[in-house]
Amino acid sequence: MPTRPVLRELGLNTGKKARLRRILFRHGLCNGTAFFLPYDQGLEHGPRDFFANPAASDPRFIVKLALEGGFNGIVTQIGLAEKFYWDYAGEVPLVLKLNGKTDIPADERALSPVNATVEDAVRLGADAVGYTLYVGTPAQEADFEQYRRVREDAHRLGMPLIVWAYPRGAAIEAKGGKDSFYAVDYAARTASELGADVVKVNFPHPEKRAAVPSSYDEEFTTQQAIDAVVRSANRTLVLVSGGAKLGDEAMLEKAHESMDAGATGLIFGRNVWQREHDESLRFVAALREILAKYPGESE
Amino acid sequence: MPTRPVLRELGLNTGKKARLRRILFRHGLCNGTAFFLPYDQGLEHGPRDFFANPAASDPRFIVKLALEGGFNGIVTQIGLAEKFYWDYAGEVPLVLKLNGKTDIPADERALSPVNATVEDAVRLGADAVGYTLYVGTPAQEADFEQYRRVREDAHRLGMPLIVWAYPRGAAIEAKGGKDSFYAVDYAARTASELGADVVKVNFPHPEKRAAVPSSYDEEFTTQQAIDAVVRSANRTLVLVSGGAKLGDEAMLEKAHESMDAGATGLIFGRNVWQREHDESLRFVAALREILAKYPGESE
Amino acid sequence: MPTRPVLRELGLNTGKKARLRRILFRHGLCNGTAFFLPYDQGLEHGPRDFFANPAASDPRFIVKLALEGGFNGIVTQIGLAEKFYWDYAGEVPLVLKLNGKTDIPADERALSPVNATVEDAVRLGADAVGYTLYVGTPAQEADFEQYRRVREDAHRLGMPLIVWAYPRGAAIEAKGGKDSFYAVDYAARTASELGADVVKVNFPHPEKRAAVPSSYDEEFTTQQAIDAVVRSANRTLVLVSGGAKLGDEAMLEKAHESMDAGATGLIFGRNVWQREHDESLRFVAALREILAKYPGESE
Amino acid sequence: MPTRPVLRELGLNTGKKARLRRILFRHGLCNGTAFFLPYDQGLEHGPRDFFANPAASDPRFIVKLALEGGFNGIVTQIGLAEKFYWDYAGEVPLVLKLNGKTDIPADERALSPVNATVEDAVRLGADAVGYTLYVGTPAQEADFEQYRRVREDAHRLGMPLIVWAYPRGAAIEAKGGKDSFYAVDYAARTASELGADVVKVNFPHPEKRAAVPSSYDEEFTTQQAIDAVVRSANRTLVLVSGGAKLGDEAMLEKAHESMDAGATGLIFGRNVWQREHDESLRFVAALREILAKYPGESE
Amino acid sequence: MPTRPVLRELGLNTGKKARLRRILFRHGLCNGTAFFLPYDQGLEHGPRDFFANPAASDPRFIVKLALEGGFNGIVTQIGLAEKFYWDYAGEVPLVLKLNGKTDIPADERALSPVNATVEDAVRLGADAVGYTLYVGTPAQEADFEQYRRVREDAHRLGMPLIVWAYPRGAAIEAKGGKDSFYAVDYAARTASELGADVVKVNFPHPEKRAAVPSSYDEEFTTQQAIDAVVRSANRTLVLVSGGAKLGDEAMLEKAHESMDAGATGLIFGRNVWQREHDESLRFVAALREILAKYPGESE
């Protein structure tokens, strides 16, 4: 059975270690697992994501949910961080997302432009920064370039770097799509090779085999697939994403398999807040029960 | 018979000389030859390269192989260097690969974006940096520009620069392909003219003559071809690459011919670690036996 | 009869004047004429240029030829300058070529990317820098931009700037080709207008009149053509290029006409080193005899 | 019995660890101890230090001594590093001393001005840098300021920082002098508190008690004194200095006590090279015998 | 008998080597010796130095003297270089003196402020730069700091650095004075330790023994003294200065002893130009006769 990497083995500098330890051992379940609440969909998809639960349009609703639900951190773009986090600063860790884009233009040359800096994150008291890297697009030249600067700043300032590793582009679509086992596995590895501290991946779909490289054109269980993805990430901590809202049973099953594979935690947004407040908390409680079964080594 | 260039004749500054001497005379066979273990395929090809030997997905497996096999250095991207090399720092030389890309988009305008700096390499205690230069693509303008900055930093900081000289692009495909004698010879010379200290080339195929310039459209033995390539590189040290995994006899034969031609050494990745651990070491031992026959002048 | 410009009339700053005077009056024939040995064909055409005389693949062969032949300077890219010039530093002037490219991709948007800086040239003790300007290509915007920066640096550091003024691109091909009188004349003038200190031109072919502008669609002797080219260059010193290897008589005739026209000298590469060593020296001696007939005013 | 700190516990970044491991485990006795040969006395005291053994005026004599004697490193100023180390680059580690001064003006406001940078050290392939910090002088404001910049650069570039912690100035003279137990102990702690990786101290003299603070005005053995000094340095590795040439027995006794106290090694200059070559080697062998008794944990 | 260092052993980068070779082997006697004409006394002492020979107030008089006398170079401040050297650019090497001061204030805290940059020297086509370092003054902190920047620029741009190593200040006056053997020897060593390529020293006076350190308080011949000074400079080339005008016999004797000691050459100003033109040339001829007896190894 795979084991989760422990902080002291990761070659982290002191600041990165201090902040990650704070996130993993002083928030949420305080047991080394992580449960993040991402809230950048207003930019990435637009307000349509809030129609299912209009209250979720208000960032205060989300921050309160994070506090009540015992999350290890919330993720926002700079604007919401500036306007809402000051009020809760220090109560729940902030992950400042440094790049983002609308979903209005087509995705074939997807590139997520940087709109905030690691220094902004320091200034706001954030405990990590987030960066979306689109793996496989023709724009990877510009993407790697802006990513490199973020990585350097994050290193210099001791700020953990969480990479949203998202396969994208025509070539990906032609080889099984963005959530195939092949695509997710390659994306996880890319984040690791390029120096992410934490990588957010979508749960892999081994059944999407149309035109994938032959190694992936075999029968794999979802457990085998997520095991491989976590292995590919090696010392980069893995967060598994919820993605679009699905049935609860399916989500809980994914969460179980991810933690079994050695993931460090979950990052669930729409699945959490696209429902009424109390129902959210019930779903959150179910996920926390799972995470509680995977206590990490105290460090 | 061609002779290998010796360090003191290469016009190297003190730092480059110190680091190359350390690699060539204080590691591996300590006889002036070099045997490198490259491990950036997780980025360049994706995790599928590890399916033949899943243990190789773990960078620790590779570093241990480098130590047990007596390699002169390992090559990784920044992420694995940050997370794994600290544990082995100073035991085996690190070559930090400064650029890289996924193989997801098509190769016609191949450009390998820079994702780390020479200063990163210094900070990590690396003994050399690597850069992939795609010779012959329409993107050579951007490639030369980013290469130039790497070359300047490497010079300023006394860091040896190893160029992966890879012919690529439609024009290359139309003139014999990327491993024709013509293409490899031109790539080696390009690296030399542009100031590489060491050049990694693929073994040339003189039989690939379709549409190559007339000078190359003759009968050449592989020995004649590799002799010419090393001559074209002149005072740039040559490393011959293993490429995709082939039969062992063919690889050993290539190694012999390369060293006869005056190459400084070999750089074999998949041929080494796409097999079970003990078998790897047996193959490595056979290659080391060859290198042992080509001791360099003590400097 | 046209007269050659003299240094003191050219408005040169002190460093440019010091270095040009050194080249023209302290090397070669020391009589104000110039004879340069260019050696960047390994990059521009690839190693195939050395097949006629494999010894010429070795830069040491070329530097020795420059010394024995009494040249005023050799021209190389940064890589060969770093690795070979240190050994001969100060014996023969170095012209560092700052840009260059392979001939692998098509020439229709030819642009020669910069791979070294004027500061590199200073650091290497060079006495001039070279820049290839492709006159007439659609890429001239990028070309003029990078040229401008080279010109500024050359001015700031007192480094003479030699422009390889090469007509290129589809529009040139459609109007008489790259060595028509029209094209060469226009290229010489372009270099002069853009601030070159010295311009390297191909010998003009007035007989190539297909589709040239009407002014050039007349009967001109080659002498008239080269006279006009030198006049177009005005206070930019002219070097006439040998180009691909031709018959010796033709070359000597070209040399005579060029010097009669007021050119400052010659720049012959393949015509010189694509032959056996002693034969090279005999040909060089014949060219020097011509140059000796055109002593410049002692300055 | 005190134990020596081990590298993996020191919170070193990768480059510092790589370089220290190289010094401690790949040179000298390769057992985790260190024996350095300092050679900056030509600047610090002037050539009079060479009158006892004129051969020692020649840096080549010293480098050869370092190689024959099996030292872990030599220490020089930038000038000798530039002019002599290139020849031995990579054979013996270089510690580039970044500041220094003549002993001509009086010492009352002693400040050792910086004359080289950490980047110079990187460029020269050095494995550590040295800085003299005068503890207790009225110039400590300027000293701390320039020290801070060195420390920052050393951290950024992964270069181990060795601090020559020298008590100086009128106040020190008034309280027991520069080699009292009080002064040496305070200097060791100062280096540790200010971030030195390694500290060079003089052997403490507990008998110098005139006007020292009361805590030090007790009977202490030299063993107790050096134990305390090493304890004060905690995770800063301690090198004990030889100082002016003394009797051999006294020196060997000091060496024993230092290593018993948990020092990492010795740094002996004049005691070594102010004698004839063979006698130097005999003395060095005696010191190495002592160091051999204190093997460090293999890391 | 001591031997002079040869350029190829000095670890010089290519630009420094090119420029020094040009000075030593292409000017003056072209035999590896050097004879410089310094002309910065108008700043250092004021126009009173020209009263003995008013013609010498005109820089043209001096440049012509340098040309007629066959000097290896002239030394001026930036103002005269700008206004006079352009006319002679390339005829005789220029050493641009980068700092200087008036002799109006007292010398006790002597510091010679920088008034031009290495880049100015490049722009003017100079072949070396000069810097006055006052050894032993209380201002050495500021001196070392500005010197360090000059040294770095000179290295970066490949410009030879000539240090005027002048003992100065109250402490020097108290220990034998500025031209004692002790002071000159220490100054030569300081220049060498701090990275000068060439050092200008005054001829040492071993008879000035009042209060010098005991090593120097012995009977030494002037030959022994200058031998030691050159040895202290090791791979830094030594130029011996003429100083104030003395009797010719004494000067010629000094020149002989200096060259016997392994000095590279002489730097004589007032002794040369504080006399009428023809007499100057006769004296210069006598000095050149001496230098001709010390041909250096052709490099």
Domains in chain E: boundaries: 7-291
* Chain C interface, best mutation among B166, B189, B197, by max C CB count within 10 A: B189
User: Is B53 in CB contact (< 8 Å) with chain A?
Assistant: no
Q: Does domain B7-291 have CATH number 3.20.20.70?
A: yes
Segments in chain E below pLDDT 70:
1-2, 298-299
Contact C80 B192 (CB under 8 A): yes
Nearest residue to C77 (alpha-carbon basis) of C130, C8, C134: C130
* Chain A interface, best mutation among D13, D153, D157, D235, by max A CB count within 10 A: D13
A149 contacts on B by Cβ (under 8 Å)? none
| Residues of E with active-site annotation | 166, 200
Contact C104 B144 (CB under 8 A): no
* Chain A interface, best mutation among B40, B94, B104, by max A CB count within 10 A: B104
User: Is D125 in CB contact (< 8 Å) with chain B?
Assistant: yes
Task: Please give the span between the terminal C-alpha atoms of chain E, in angstroms, as a whole number.
Answer: 21
Say if CB D192 and CB D5 are below 8 A apart: no
Q: What is the pLDDT of residue B1?
A: 52
Candidates D16, D178, D200, D208; catalytic one = D200
E124 contacts on C by Cβ (under 8 Å)? 14-15, 18, 158
- Give the confidence band of D299 by pLDDT, cuts at 50, 70, 90: low
User: Is D156 in CB contact (< 8 Å) with chain B?
Assistant: yes
Of C21, C86, C122, the CB nearest to E90: C21
In DSSP notation, C148-214 reads HHHHHHHHHTT--EEEEEEE-SHHHHHTT-TTBHHHHHHHHHHHHHTT-SEEEEEPPBTT--TT--G
Candidates D166, D186, D216, D294; catalytic one = D166
Residues A23-78 pLDDT 10s = 999 999 999 999 999 999 999 999 999 999 999 999 999 999 999 999 999 999 99
Q: What's the rounded Cα separation, in Å, for the pair B166 and B207?
A: 18
Mean pLDDT, rounded, of chain A: 94
A228 contacts on B by Cβ (under 8 Å)? 47
Smallest CA–CA distance, residue E85 to chain C, in Å, is: 7
Residues A79-112 pLDDT 10s = 999 999 999 999 999 999 999 999 988 877 889 9
C134 noted as active-site residue: no
Q: Which chain C residue has the Cα nearest residue B218?
A: C51
Mean pLDDT, rounded, of chain C: 94
Which of these ranges, A200-204, C5-9, D67-71, has the smallest mean pLDDT? C5-9
Candidates A97, A200, A208, A254; catalytic one = A200
Q: Is the pLDDT of residue C1 over 80?
A: no
Mean pLDDT throughout C288-292?
97
Q: Is the pLDDT of residue C220 over 90?
A: yes
A186 contacts on B by Cβ (under 8 Å)? 46-47, 102, 104
Report CA-CA distances (Å) from B181 to B13, B232, C48, E179, E279: 32, 12, 11, 68, 70
User: Is B144 in CB contact (< 8 Å) with chain C?
Assistant: yes
User: Is B9 in CB contact (< 8 Å) with chain E?
Assistant: no
Say if CB C38 and CB C267 are below 8 A apart: yes
Q: Is the pLDDT of residue A151 over 60?
A: yes
Do C and A have ≥3 inter-chain CB pairs under 8 A? no
Q: Is the pLDDT of residue D1 over 60?
A: no
Smallest CA–CA distance, residue E11 to chain B, in Å, is: 8
Query: Taking a contact as any Cβ pair under 8 Å apart, which residues of chain D between 232 and 271 contact chain A?
Result: none
The answer for residues whose C-beta is within 8 angstroms of residue B140's C-beta and 6 or more apart is B134, C101, C102, C105, C113
D200 noted as active-site residue: yes
The answer for residues whose C-beta is within 8 angstroms of residue A289's C-beta and 6 or more apart is none
CA angle D162, D164, D169 (to 5 degrees): 155
Smallest CA–CA distance, residue B155 to chain C, in Å, is: 10
Query: How far from the centroid of its chain's Cα atoms is residue E251's Cα?
Result: 15
Mean pLDDT throughout C228-233?
96
The answer for residues whose C-beta is within 8 angstroms of residue B153's C-beta and 6 or more apart is B117, B118, B119, B159
Q: Is the pLDDT of residue D2 over 70?
A: no
Q: Which chains lie within 8 Å of chain D at 3 or more CB pairs, if any?
A: A, B, E
- Give the confidence band of C154 by pLDDT, cuts at 50, 70, 90: very high
Joined together, the tokens standing for residue E125 give: 């086509």
Joined together, the tokens standing for residue E97 give: 């003196």
Contact B90 D18 (CB under 8 A): yes
pLDDT, mean of each 10-residue run, chain B (299 residues): 86 97 97 97 96 94 96 98 95 97 87 96 98 93 94 98 96 94 97 98 96 96 97 97 83 96 96 93 97 87
Q: What's the rounded Cα separation, in Å, for the pair D67 and D65?
A: 5
Say if CB D202 and CB D247 are below 8 A apart: no
D11 contacts on A by Cβ (under 8 Å)? 14
Q: Is the pLDDT of residue D283 over 90?
A: yes
Report CA-CA distances (Å) from A122 to A60, A126, A157, D105, E144: 22, 6, 8, 47, 38
The β-bridge relationship of strands E34-38 and D265-267 is: unpaired
Q: What is the pLDDT of residue B2?
A: 65
DSSP E strands: which ranges in chain A?
A: 34-38, 73-76, 94-97, 128-135, 161-167, 198-202, 237-241, 265-267
Nearest residue to C174 (alpha-carbon basis) of C145, C213, C146, C205: C213
**pTM of this prediction?**
0.95
User: Is B16 in CB contact (< 8 Å) with chain C?
Assistant: no
Contact C14 E91 (CB under 8 A): no
Q: What is the pLDDT of residue C55?
A: 94
Q: Which chain B residue has the Cα nearest residue A137?
A: B105
Q: What is the pLDDT of residue B107?
A: 80
Query: Taking a contact as any Cβ pair under 8 Å apart, which residues of chain D between 59 and 98 contact chain B?
Result: 81-82, 85-86, 89-91, 94
Smallest CA–CA distance, residue B55 to chain A, in Å, is: 10
Q: What is the pLDDT of residue E299?
A: 59
Q: Which chain B residue has the Cα nearest residue E155?
A: B156
Contact A14 D11 (CB under 8 A): yes
Measured in degrees and rounded to the nearest 5, phi and psi for residue E219 equal: -80, 115
D94 contacts on B by Cβ (under 8 Å)? 18
Q: What is the pLDDT of residue D108?
A: 80
Q: What is the pLDDT of residue B134?
A: 96
Contact D124 B85 (CB under 8 A): no
Q: What's the rounded Cα separation, in Å, for the pair A50 and A29?
A: 28
Q: Which chains lie within 8 Å of chain A at 3 or more CB pairs, if any?
A: B, D
Q: Which chains lie within 8 Å of chain E at 3 or more CB pairs, if any?
A: B, C, D
Contact E123 C156 (CB under 8 A): yes
Contact C16 E125 (CB under 8 A): yes
Contact B22 D119 (CB under 8 A): no
- Which residues on neighbouring strands pair with residue B135, listed in sequence order? B167
Q: What is the pLDDT of residue A106?
A: 82
Residues C116-125 pLDDT 10s = 999 999 999 9
Q: What is the pLDDT of residue D107?
A: 81
E21 contacts on C by Cβ (under 8 Å)? 89-91
Q: What is the pLDDT of residue C299?
A: 59
Q: What's the rounded Cα separation, in Å, for the pair B78 and B96?
A: 7
Q: Which chain A residue has the Cα nearest residue D156?
A: A156
In DSSP notation, chain B reads ------GGGTT--HHHHHHHHHHHHSSTTSSS-EEEEE--HHHHT-GGGGTTSGGGGSHHHHHHHHHHHT-SEEEE-HHHIIIIIHHHTTTS-EEEE-B---S-S-STT----B-S-HHHHHHTT-SEEEEEEEET-TTHHHHHHHHHHHHHHHHHTT--EEEEEEE-SHHHHHTT-TTBHHHHHHHHHHHHHTT-SEEEEEPPBTT--TT--GGGSS---HHHHHHHHHHHHTTSEEEEE--S---HHHHHHHHHHHHHTT--EEE-SHHHHSS-HHHHHHHHHHHHHHHHTSPPPP-
Query: How far from the centroid of its chain's Cα atoms is residue B217's Cα?
Result: 27
Residues C239-253 pLDDT 10s = 999 877 778 999 999
User: Is D1 in CB contact (< 8 Å) with chain E?
Assistant: no
Q: What is the pLDDT of residue E37?
A: 97
C21 contacts on E by Cβ (under 8 Å)? 89-91
